[in-house]
Amino acid sequence: MRVLVACEYSGTVRDAFIAAGHYAMSCDLLPTDSPGFHYQGDVKDVIDGGWDMMIAHPPCTYLCSSGLHWNSRTPGRSQKTEEALEFVRFLMDSPIPMIAIENPIGCISTRIRKPDQTIQPWQFGHDASKATCLWLKNLPPLMPTKIHPPRVVNGKKRWGNQTDSGQNKLAPSDDRWKIRSETYSGIAEAMANQWGKSDVL
């Protein structure tokens, strides 16, 4: 298959599909962190490239629930949310047979439609919790591959990336957003191995 991985600079999903025997190209305004097939620029430049599948990770800054409270406090931010939603609609409506849109819990669910699935990295072998929504077109839900058990703190489940109170352990830094947005390798491999099967077509 020809697979476009939109809004990905890490190369994680792209490389998982290449390892599974497909032609895959990532696309982002940023250069790729991992050498490989990558278009640095606007995804609109390459969206009509005859792709069989697109997996898109639209920027979540103005879409995720954790940041929406700033819309009423920061001038111009609400407009940026509207622009981000319009970009999501563009990706969803693209003329590609199979599409997966990935994003954290946020306003895509309330403004466009509810996700088809919500997954966690701990379902795919990682000691981490991060609810991730998937909006799917002609693709089946991902099946968990390896459950990583949590530790239990005062009767509550916690994973390795969480403090005992449930907050994310990652300290503030200039590249925190970049680290937080990267797809977990176990999820990328599940996408490639499950969605890349011939019987999905």
| Predicted pLDDT of residue 168 | 78
Residue with tokens 């466009």: 112
CATH top-level class for 2-119+136-146+180-200? alpha beta
Please state, as a whole number, how many other Cβ atoms lie within 10 Å of the Cβ of residue 5: 32
pLDDT of residue 167: 80
Length of the chain: 201
Phi, psi at 25, each rounded to 5°: -135, 135
pLDDT per residue as tens, the chain (201 positions): 999 999 999 999 999 999 999 999 999 999 999 999 999 999 999 999 999 999 999 988 757 766 555 555 666 667 888 899 999 999 999 999 999 999 998 889 999 999 999 999 999 999 999 999 999 999 999 999 999 999 999 999 999 998 888 787 756 555 544 555 679 999 999 999 999 986 765
pLDDT for position 63: 76
